[in-house]
Amino acid sequence: MTEHAHDAHHGSGHGHHAHRGGDVEASLERAAATCLARGAQLTELRRQVLRLVLESGQPIGAYALLDRLRGERRGAAPPTVYRALDFLMEQGLIHKIERLNAFVGCAEEPGHGHTHAHPHPHQFLICGRCGSTAEVCDEGVAHAVAGAAARLGFVVHRTTVEVEGICAHCASADATAG
């Protein structure tokens, strides 16, 4: 998980290994193209922060990012990283997981209808056992939320859906081990 729902499991509870380098580079290239097309400035700083988020391969906190950012940018301070994160969220390049106060790269594959489309509907599955997270994009959930809100005359801007539970990997391990 932590990459996409059908991926093999690799979350924060286990390997801590990052994306393969090529994945990150490709994502950065796509991000740059998206921002260019949109007139948004993916500056060097913002690109560095995005790279760090992607390289972590798991939800990462703002201050952990700050520590790493200081490796390449001494004097970086909390606002440095928070401003970059705000930009990246506005562009849909990363998401914040509220329950974890942490940030992850958007796992949406290009060509699934929306390519980093502004705020795309998404949900997070968070495993309480291994800490892995999976971003999913279930239209049924998005539709149900939109419907419930509309029935109350509520105009939806953004939706946060975060499910805590046990991932398939851990569940099968449980079933085997007892």
Partner DNA sequence: GGTCATGATGATACACTATATCATGGTGGC
Partner DNA sequence: GCCACCATGATATAGTGTATCATCATGACC
Verify binding: residue 80, DNA, rule CB under 7 A: yes
Q: Are strands 102-105 and 133-136 parallel, antiparallel or unpaired?
A: unpaired
Cβ closest to Zn ion, residue 73 vs residue 115: 115
User: Shortest approach of DNA to residue 80 CB, angstroms?
Assistant: 4
Verify binding: residue 62, DNA, rule CB under 7 A: yes
Q: Which of 102, 107, 126, 130 binds DNA (CB under 7 A)?
A: 102
Q: Per-residue b/e over 54-64, b at no fewer than 16 CB within 10 Å?
A: bebbbbbebee
Class of residue 95 by CB neighbours under 10 A (exposed 0-12, middle 13-18, buried 19+): buried
Q: Are strands 102-105 and 94-97 parallel, antiparallel or unpaired?
A: antiparallel
Q: Is 137 among the annotated ligand-binding positions?
A: no
Structure tokens at 2: 């932590």
Alpha helices in 73-138 (DSSP H): 78-90
| Contact (CB, 8 A) for 27 and 33 | no
Verify binding: residue 152, a second copy, rule CB under 8 A: yes
Instruction: Kindly identify the residues of this chain, within the stretch 19-58, that bind DNA according to CB under 7 A.
Output: 40-41, 43-46
Structure tokens at 175: 């079933």
Q: Is 127 among the annotated ligand-binding positions?
A: yes
User: Shortest approach of a second copy to residue 35 CB, angstroms?
Assistant: 24
User: Shortest approach of a second copy to residue 78 CB, angstroms?
Assistant: 17
For residue 44, the number of C-alpha atoms closer than 13 Å in the C-beta half-sphere is 2
Distance (Å, whole) CA 121 – CA 156: 11
Distance (Å, whole) CA 50 – CA 68: 12
Verify binding: residue 168, a second copy, rule CB under 8 A: yes
User: Shortest approach of a second copy to residue 3 CB, angstroms?
Assistant: 13
Verify binding: residue 78, DNA, rule CB under 7 A: yes
Which residue ranges make up the annotated binding site?
A: 127, 130, 167, 170
Q: Which residues of the chain form contacts with a second copy (CB under 8 A)?
A: 5, 98-99, 123, 125, 127-128, 134, 136, 138, 140-141, 143-145, 147-149, 152-168, 171-172
Which residues are at the interface with DNA (CB under 7 A)?
40-41, 43-46, 61-64, 73, 75-80, 82-84, 87, 96, 101-102
